[in-house]
């Protein structure tokens, strides 16, 4: 990614003059935040109207100063559960800030998520967008690295100068620096010299665990001083004179295009981790020392001593803020409850309701002509070549597509699916990443939220496990923000056996993605379907797992002529491979070839259906077929217990029980990992012979 290493000079759109803080605005936001904390702690929590209360007292001053400097229309930030003052400083309506913790209608999520996990789409681009917060500590870091990369990409590759001087900011506590997400983001942003500001609020504790337990010497920032391409700014986050200087220096360093900065400010946590935390792990003397560091009295004294505010003005402002919060709380209590009838909306994209931020659809992107009718051309291609050819065309026609992962660049991928694409499209379009699946998927989130189409590759199915948190959070993003945000992407994951198996490279386990809310899952069995499904996914408005079975990548049966550059297959449409009336066989992936050959060997009028996509799956086609045949055999490579075949069987039993002439049968892998020895693999995986035996036995029932 050499292009990403460039430091574009900022245009006149960037104000390089040091801004003066509006101290009245800063004071007002601090007082509003304190008043809300007070009412929540003494009223709303005891009344059980608020269940998740995280006070920001002590953290609030520096947060507000930082937020007030994020004025660029393409700034973006991620926060965490103690970031409410920062969120308020970005311009969110006060009533939404107050109502959301009460889980009332409206707010950040319409009652779907806890109030401290907030977001701010800022559709008018008046300052920073706040990414949807996540409940997991450290999950906020790698997505904002993706946004930082998107700033460079929009400016340098898409030639959009409005991105000049924009920055990405991630907020986190000191203990979040122990997470894999922090280290993944640090590697991404420093390696590529991205405009990323890490803001660390160091209060010395992770709930009850002191920094000495978290990191050698109890000071992670000191340990990072040798890190390359990382500017470190360190100091007090409560001093009205020093703190603004440190924050301005950090923001201006990143805005000027010099690279990544880590700003660590030490702040007191003037409360427990949550309202319920009594802090018995701290001594009375230590708590008293923390209270003495409260930035609010310091700010008040500073403003009074400098003649920037009079004592009666301060008191009036304090009264005004409490009154405003009191009124907002009373108003929030009167809000309606969220509508239960809308509870299942926005798990997936709705064509007439496009999300506010994220993905190609939100920016009104248009695609080339597409067709559901294949136009076969040329010789038969293997699936690997078909995938590469599809990626090539979409990269060529859509400058917002980026393909990346471990070894996908000059090497062309460990399976060669991206061979030649780096050479053709360059390091900014097809590039290698550090070895961190958390970082690969997290980066994809930020790129997607910026309006790009990321196509990350996970080398093998098992290697997706380190990215599980980012994948889960991505899938539920649309639902938990009530369709304000979505991060469409296509995650390519090869998996399954290939000649031999093993527990690490040959896992199938596709059912996990069927269970992950918000994700689509495609599992093509041949080259033509791979083209149509992949192209559809790359143009769709939902995140998709595209599962590439390793045994099919260069399989003779799976070879097909290229179906043309317009060909798409909408998800949820199964394909009937063989028609028959005696038995319905449902299969997908590598089992399709085996089921077809088994059925042909028997000549018993068997219907074989390739599901093609698992989420969504074509329930209508399966029900219609089983209604006709009265019998069903489900064949899949995944383990038997809770495999997706169980879902199909349960659906058939529920909706077609009285149409069945025989019990529904499943033929699957036993509940074991994929074995390496060829003989053991043959025993474990459904073979053509085993499938034929099961077909014959079920027809004879």
Question: Hey, which residues are catalytic here?
Answer: 437, 505
Helix (H) or strand (E) holding 150: helix 141-152
CA angle 253, 256, 257 (to 5 degrees): 100
Task: Provide the β-strand partners of residue 77.
Answer: 130, 169
Separation between Cα atoms, residue 120 and residue 118, nearest integer Å: 7
Question: How many Å apart are CA 449 and CA 595, to the nearest integer?
Answer: 41
Residue 693 backbone class (left: φ over 0; alpha: ψ -120 to 50; beta: rest): alpha
- Which bin fits 587, alpha (ψ -120 to 50), beta or left (φ > 0)? beta
Distance linking the first and last C-alpha atoms of the chain: 61
Asked if residue 51 has a cis previous peptide bond (ω within 30° of 0), the answer is no
- 167-to-37, 250, 260 alpha-carbon distances in Å: 30, 11, 10
Q: State how far the Cα of 637 lies from the Cα of 587, in Å rounded to an integer.
A: 9
Question: What six digits make up the tokens of 540?
Answer: 């769709």
Tell me how far apart the alpha carbons of residues 169 and 542 are, in angstroms, rounded to a whole number. 26
Residue (of 168, 156, 82, 182) closest to 129 by Cα position = 168
E strands in 141-259 = 168-173, 196-202, 205-206, 209-210, 230-236
Report how far Cα 241 is from the mean position of its chain's Cα atoms.
Answer: 38
d(CA 145, CA 148): 5
Q: Who's near 443: CB < 8 A, 6+ residues apart?
A: 142, 143, 145, 146, 149, 188, 404, 433, 454, 456
CB-CB contact of 528 with 386 (8 Å): yes
**Calpha distance 335→102 (Å, rounded):** 10
Structure tokens given for 251: 């923001």
Residue keyed to tokens 């199964």: 574
Q: Which two tokens stand for residue 484?
A: 């304000």
Residue 619, C-beta contacts closer than 8 angstroms, at least 6 positions apart: 651
CA-nearest of 368, 387, 365, 362 to 552 is 387
Rounded Cα distance between 653 and 424, Å, is 52
Tokens 């209590």: give the residue. Answer: 333
Interatomic CA distance for residues 678 and 690, integer angstroms: 16
Q: What is the DSSP letter of 51?
A: S
């Amino acid at each position: 990614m050499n292009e990403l290493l460039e430091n574009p000079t900022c245009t006149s759109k960037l104000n390089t003059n040091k801004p003066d803080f509006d101290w009245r605005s800063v004071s007002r936001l601090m007082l509003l935040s304190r008043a809300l904390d007070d009412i929540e702690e003494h009223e709303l929590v005891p009344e059980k109207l608020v269940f998740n209360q995280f006070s920001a007292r002590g953290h609030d001053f520096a947060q507000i100063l930082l937020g007030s400097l994020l004025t660029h229309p393409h700034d973006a930030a991620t926060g965490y559960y103690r970031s409410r003052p920062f969120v308020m400083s970005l311009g969110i309506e006060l009533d939404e800030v107050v109502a959301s913790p009460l889980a009332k209608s409206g707010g950040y999520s319409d009652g779907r998520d806890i109030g401290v996990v907030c977001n701010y789409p800022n559709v008018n681009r008046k300052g920073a967008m706040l990414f949807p917060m996540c409940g997991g500590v450290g999950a906020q870091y790698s997505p904002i690295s993706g946004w930082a990369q998107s700033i460079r990409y929009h400016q340098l590759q898409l030639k959009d100068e409005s991105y000049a001087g924009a920055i990405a900011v991630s907020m986190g506590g000191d203990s979040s620096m122990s997470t894999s997400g922090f280290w993944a983001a640090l590697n991404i942003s420093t390696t590529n010299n991205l405009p990323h500001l890490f803001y660390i609020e160091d209060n010395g504790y992770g709930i009850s665990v002191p920094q000495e337990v978290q990191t050698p010497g109890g000071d992670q920032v000191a340990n990072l001083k040798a890190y390359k391409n990382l500017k470190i700014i360190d100091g007090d986050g409560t001093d009205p004179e020093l703190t603004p200087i440190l924050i301005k220096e950090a923001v201006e360093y990143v805005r000027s295009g010099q690279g990544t900065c880590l700003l660590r400010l030490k702040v007191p946590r003037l409360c427990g981790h949550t309202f319920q935390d009594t802090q018995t792990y701290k001594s009375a003397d230590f708590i008293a020392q923390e209270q003495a560091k409260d930035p609010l009295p310091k700010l008040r004294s500073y403003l009074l001593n400098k003649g920037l505010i009079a004592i009666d003005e301060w008191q009036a402002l304090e009264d005004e803020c409490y009154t405003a919060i009191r009124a907002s709380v009373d108003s929030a209590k009167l809000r309606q409850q969220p509508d239960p009838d809308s509870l299942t909306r926005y798990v997936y994209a709705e064509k007439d309701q496009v999300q506010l931020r994220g993905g190609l659809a939100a920016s009104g992107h248009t695609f080339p002509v597409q067709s559901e009718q294949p136009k076969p051309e040329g010789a038969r291609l293997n699936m690997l070549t078909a995938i590469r050819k599809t990626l090539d065309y979409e990269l060529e026609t859509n400058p917002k597509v980026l393909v990346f992962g471990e070894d996908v660049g000059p090497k062309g991928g460990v399976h060669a699916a991206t061979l030649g694409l780096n050479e053709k499209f360059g390091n900014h379009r097809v590039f290698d990443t550090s070895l961190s699946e958390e970082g690969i998927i997290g980066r994809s989130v930020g790129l997607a939220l910026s309006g790009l189409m990321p196509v990350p590759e996970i080398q093998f199915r098992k290697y997706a496990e380190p990215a599980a948190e980012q994948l889960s959070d991505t899938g539920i993003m649309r639902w938990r923000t009530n369709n304000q945000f979505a991060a469409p992407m296509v995650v390519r994951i090869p998996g399954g056996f290939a000649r031999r198996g093993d527990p690490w490279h040959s896992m199938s386990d596709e059912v996990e993605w069927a269970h992950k809310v918000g994700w689509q899952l495609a599992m093509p069995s041949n080259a033509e379907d791979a083209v149509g499904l992949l192209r559809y996914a790359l143009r769709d408005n939902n995140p998709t797992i595209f599962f590439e079975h390793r045994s099919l990548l260069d399989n003779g049966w799976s070879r097909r002529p290229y179906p043309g550059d317009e060909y798409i297959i909408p998800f949820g449409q199964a394909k009937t491979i063989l028609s028959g009336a005696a038995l319905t066989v449902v299969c997908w992936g590598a089992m399709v070839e085996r089921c077809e050959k088994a059925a042909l060997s028997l000549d018993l009028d068997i219907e074989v259906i390739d599901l093609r996509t698992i989420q969504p799956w074509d329930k209508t086609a399966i029900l219609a077929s089983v209604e006709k045949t009265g019998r069903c055999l489900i064949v899949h490579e995944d383990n038997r217990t809770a495999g997706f075949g169980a879902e199909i069987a349960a659906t058939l039993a529920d909706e077609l029980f009285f149409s069945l002439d025989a019990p529904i049968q499943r033929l699957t892998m036993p509940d074991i990992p994929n074995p390496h020895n060829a003989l053991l693999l043959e025993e474990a995986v459904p073979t053509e012979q085993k499938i034929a035996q099961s077909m014959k036995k079920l027809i004879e029932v």
